[in-house]
Amino acid sequence: MGGRAARSTPTRGPLHRLQRSVALDVTRWTRARLAAGRRLGVRARTIEDPAAVPVPDARMRANPRAPIFFLSYARSRIVRTADPGPDPNQDVVRLFDDLTNNVNELVGAVTAQGPGYIDRGLEAGDEWSPRLIEAVGSCGVFVCLLSRPYLFQSTWGPREWDLFSRRRVVRRSDGLTSHETAIVPVLWTPIREDLPPPVAAVNVFAPTGMPREHYVEQYRDNGLLGLMRTGEEQVYRAIVWKLSMHIQRLYSEYWVEPGAEVDADDLMTSFAEAD
């Protein structure tokens, strides 16, 4: 009797293995998306609904010239003498350097110049440089150092605040407008007066989860500059790290639309103008 012919098994070549690998990747990706949604309290949606999966807006891709954060502060008047002495803004520069190093570790540098931008050239009577306008109009987070000179005497601080606040904040997850602000007021010195209305409408940065409860109280009583001047190095470094993490969160979760061209003369030169 003749034996039954052996049943041939189709050869599984490279194409089959590639298809199977892609299918496994899609399955893992879908499960990861659903798990992330459950953690965030988002209703689970099936992969059959393509619109259910947010697609990053191409506009939100990192602009190679846009800094992650912009540091706004009251420029100390520079008295030019034969022996000018130390830079009157050296403490601000130190803070900027510390923030830059921290944010670079947390997010990375999205520009060749580094993650932050600070202007060192403006004094009373100076004009805005195109690069300064570009930085305020494209940065992801606006950090401002609150002090009496900044709030009640500076003309550049209000201009920078005004320009940034005109930009729309949207969530990166779905591109919808958010009520979150990307303005971060930070206590540079203690403030005894009432804050001007535009500033009072934004929560002043107050760190949480500090290693010691009294750190926050010391920050509120002295400001970052006071912590530097009184030798509270450990408290200062802890506050700056928390501030860096806050910048990281805002930049990661929100995108601020680039600002439209604006005439500098149309911007407020005093926070009192917003009354």
Using the predicted structure, report yes or no on whether residue 275 has a pLDDT greater than 50.
Answer: yes
Per-residue confidence band for 10, with pLDDT thresholds at 50, 70 and 90: very low
Higher pLDDT, 43 or 221: 221
Higher pLDDT, 109 or 181: 181
Mean pLDDT of the chain: 79
**What proportion of the chain, given as a percentage, has pLDDT over 90?**
55
> What are the pLDDT digits (tens) for 143-173?
999 999 999 999 999 999 999 999 999 999 9
Give the model's pLDDT for residue 229.
Answer: 96
Range 89-97 average pLDDT: 95
Structural contact between residues 244 and 156, judged by C-beta atoms closer than 8 angstroms? no
Give the model's pLDDT for residue 109.
Answer: 67
Using the predicted structure, report yes or no on whether residue 93 has a pLDDT greater than 70.
Answer: yes
Dist CA 223 CA 216 (whole Å) = 10
The DSSP H or E segment spanning 146 is strand 141-146
The DSSP H or E segment spanning 98 is helix 90-106
How many other C-beta atoms can be found within 10 angstroms of the C-beta atom of residue 189? 18
Q: At what angle do helices 214-229 and 233-253 cross, to 10 degrees?
A: 110
**Tokens of residue 224, six digits:** 């970052």
Give the model's pLDDT for residue 259.
Answer: 82
Per-residue confidence band for 214, with pLDDT thresholds at 50, 70 and 90: very high
Per-residue confidence band for 57, with pLDDT thresholds at 50, 70 and 90: low
* Maximum CA extent, the chain: 115
* Highest mean predicted confidence (pLDDT) among 81-85, 119-123, 259-263: 259-263
> What are the pLDDT digits (tens) for 101-112?
999 999 976 766
> What are the pLDDT digits (tens) for 117-127?
999 875 544 66
